[in-house]
Amino acid sequence: MKNTAKTAVLLAGLSGFFLFIGATLGGTTGMFIALIAAFAMIGFSYWKSDALAIRSARAVPADEAQFPQYYEIMRDLTQRADMPMPRLYITPDPQPNAFATGRNPDNAVIAVTAGLLQYLSWDEVRGVLAHELAHVKNRDILIGSVAAAIATAITFIANIAQFALIFGGGNNRDRNPLADLAMIIVAPIAAALLQMAISRSREFQADRSAAQLIGDGEPLARALEKISSGAAQMPMKVNPAQEQMYIANPLGPSQVAGNLFRTHPPMEERIRRLRSGEWQSALG
């Protein structure tokens, strides 16, 4: 409940900030344009996120005859969670990693890399699949898509405002060009910070839900150790805009100081929480 409330507050803050930007830079008309842009981007992201993610990752449907344990584990997890069976995919990447996508549980996709199946035991793979299934059940794909779409829209509006300020902003004496310039610079940064905070919160929640689903946090903790090591040794070439959908940052360890600009929580903290048994507190 704490993570859910935090996500709701962050998402509301991101949405409110978006409308504030539109109203500040363009008044009522600007806010209306901002709303249209937001709905358009959210709608596109909602309907096309799975196809874009699959294509970008070069993922192909997993053959059940070739990967029977992959299907067996997922059938067991979906029965435990009382959820539909997602479509299962495999990407050719040697780095151990995984992601989930799809607009809802009935249209979900879970993909694992070839490296994940090569370097992890099936018990560890089970922990990873439980984590990805938790993302689907918690509607994190939709939440993440909405947050990304709003953040992108804010950046888009800021870019338009920048051009307007350069080529015509000086003609409006009622406006302060320095204040507008500050808003143009600060807005995309603030939007990115809120989006990344939402992503980190949902990762903690998916870890917790996964441990609750299988009744043990250790398999996922061991998997995260191996995935972290693999990501450091063989970074994956992915669009930075899609890094948040993976269980661990596929680009390798973040070089950013602190956590504000990270899409994933510190791996050490995720592993600590799984092994400390904190996930059991919500079981009653």
Torsional class of 143: left (φ above 0), alpha (ψ -120 to 50), beta (otherwise): alpha
Q: Which of 72, 124, 132, 218 is catalytic?
A: 132
* Cβ–Cβ under 8 Å, residues 264 and 203: yes
Q: Are strands 109-113 and 87-91 parallel, antiparallel or unpaired?
A: parallel
Phi first, then psi, for residue 255 (nearest 5°) are -95, 0
Determine the Cα–Cα distance for residues 206 and 133; give it in Å rounded to an integer: 8
243 is catalytic: no
Please name the residue that has the structure tokens 């799975």.
50
| Phi and psi angles of residue 86, each rounded to the nearest 5 degrees, phi first | -75, 165
> What residue type is assigned to position 55 of the chain?
R
Q: How far is 199 from 14, CA to CA, in rounded Å? A: 13
List, by residue number, the catalytic residues.
132
